[in-house]
Amino acid sequence: MTINLFFVVVTVNRREMTPQQIHHQQHVEELMEEVKSKHSRMFFN
């Protein structure tokens, strides 16, 4: 009887964000919250 083993190791490193990228990400999150709020007002009113 033979046993075949195969292992894969994946490492992920976090990327450092520039101040511009951080600002952009915050802006995108704010816009997404606005859209969610608008949708909830449309459906639940």
Kindly give the confidence (pLDDT) of every residue in the chain, 45 residues in length, as a single tens digit, with 9 standing for 90 and above: 788 888 899 998 888 989 999 999 999 999 999 999 998 888 876
Whether the full predicted model's pTM is greater than 0.75, yes or no, is no
Quick one: three-class SS letters along the chain? CCCCCCCCCCCCCCCCCCHHHHHHHHHHHHHHHHHHHHHHHHHHC
What are the tokens at 9?
Answer: 């190791």
**Where do we find the tokens 């999150």?**
29
